[in-house]
Amino acid sequence: MSAATKPLDGAAARDLPQGAAPARTGCEGGPPRHIGIIMDGNGRWASARGLPRALGHKAGAEAVRRTIEAAAQSGVSWLTLFAFSSENWQRPAEEVRDLTGLMRMYLRSEVGTLAREGIRLRVIGERERFGAETVQAIAAAEAATAHGTRLNLNVAVSYGGRAEILAAAKDIARRVAAGTLDAEKVDMAEFAGRLSTAGMPDPDLIIRTSGEQRLSNFLLWQAAYAEFVFQDVLWPDYDAAHLAEAIAEFCRRERRYGLRVA
C-alpha cells in the first residue's frame, strides 16, 4: 500500500469525508461516487433565442433527463441537482410559478421512467414551502422509486446550505439543552447526521455550468473536499459529452484532503 492510499488514524481520519482516502488522482477507484450540479444558464439560453425564461427552464428539464441517464451510464452512484435555491423565492412571482409548476409536472411525468430505470429519487430542502400539492407529488415520487439501486438522485429544492447548517445546529442545541445529547460528544459524524444529506456520501465533484464560478449556498458543509469543475455551457445545452468532460477533468485532479502525498 502506498503512502498515498494508506488509511489514516486520529484527527485527520475523522475529518475526511466518509469512505475517503488520500489518493493521487480522483479516479483511482473509479468515477466520482457523488456528483453535485449547479444547473445555471436557463435564462441566458432563452434570452439568446428571444424566448421567455420559462422556455429556458423547460429546455433545462430536458437537460436534467439527459444528465441523469448519462450519470447512471457513467457508473456514478449519487447525483445531486440544485433545482431551486432558498434565494430563488425572490424571483418574480411568475417565474417562481413557472419553475414550481415545471418541477411538479416533471415529478409526475418522470416517476415511471425513474422507477423503471432503477433511479431512486429523494428531494432535499424545505419542500413544505411549495404547498400541499407539491409535497404530495414529491412523497409519491420518492415512494415509487424507493427500490432503485442504479443511481441515487437528489433534487435540491428551496435548498440553502447555510439554512441547513443552522437547522442542524439548532437541533443539536435543543437536544443538549434537554439533556438528551452530551455537547462533548458532538463530532463531525453527529453533525453531518443532522443535515438533509444524512447517510449519503459527500460530493466528490461539483459542476457549475454557464461559466459562473460560485458555490451559491449549495452543499456548503458537504463540499469541504469536493473538486470543482466550471463549464462554459448553458444548462439547457448540457449533455452526456459535457458530463464525460467534467469527469475526465476530475480524474486529472490530485485529491489530497489537506495531506502531503509523497
List strands edge to edge, sheet with 205-209. 119-124, 151-159, 78-85, 34-38, 205-209, 227-231
Please return the burial class of 172, using the count of CB atoms within 10 Å of its CB with bins 0-12, 13-18 and 19+: middle
Has 45 been labeled as part of a binding site? yes
Q: Is position 40 annotated as part of the catalytic site?
A: yes
Residue 102 or residue 135: which is nearer to ligand FPP going by CB? 102
- Is the separation of the CB atoms in 106 and 61 below 8 Å? yes
Residue 37 or residue 168: which is nearer to ligand FPP going by CB? 37
Residue 61 or residue 226: which is nearer to ligand FPP going by CB? 61
Query: Which residues make up the interface to ligand FPP (CB under 6 A)?
Result: 39-44, 57, 60-61, 64, 81, 83, 88, 102-103, 106, 155, 235
- In angstroms, the CA 92 to CA 104 distance is 19
Residue 31 or residue 41: which is nearer to ligand FPP going by CB? 41
Q: Which residue's Cβ has the minimum distance to ligand FPP? A: 43
Q: Please, what's the largest Cα pairwise distance for the chain? A: 60
The enclosing H or E element of 245 equals: helix 240-252
CB of 111 to ligand FPP, least distance (A): 12
CB of 95 to ligand FPP, least distance (A): 8
Has 154 been labeled as part of a binding site? no
What is the C-alpha end-to-end distance of the chain, expressed in Å?
A: 13
Number of residues in the chain: 262
CB of 179 to ligand FPP, least distance (A): 42
Residue 214 or residue 256: which is nearer to ligand FPP going by CB? 214
- Is the separation of the CB atoms in 35 and 71 below 8 Å? yes
Backbone φ/ψ region at 235: left (φ over 0), alpha (ψ -120 to 50), beta: alpha
Out of 9, 15, 40, 239, the active site residue is 40
- Is the separation of the CB atoms in 239 and 63 below 8 Å? yes
Has 57 been labeled as part of a binding site? yes
Has 97 been labeled as part of a binding site? no
**C-beta neighbour count of 35 within 10 angstroms:** 26
Out of 15, 88, 171, 217, the active site residue is 88
CB of 17 to ligand FPP, least distance (A): 25
Has 174 been labeled as part of a binding site? no
Has 86 been labeled as part of a binding site? yes
How far out from the chain centre does Cα 236 lie?
18
CB of 53 to ligand FPP, least distance (A): 6
| Residues known to be catalytic | 40, 88
Which amino acids are annotated as binding site, given as ranges? 40-45, 53, 57, 85-87, 89, 91, 208, 214-216, 227
Which residue ranges are tagged as binding site for Mg(2+)? 40, 227
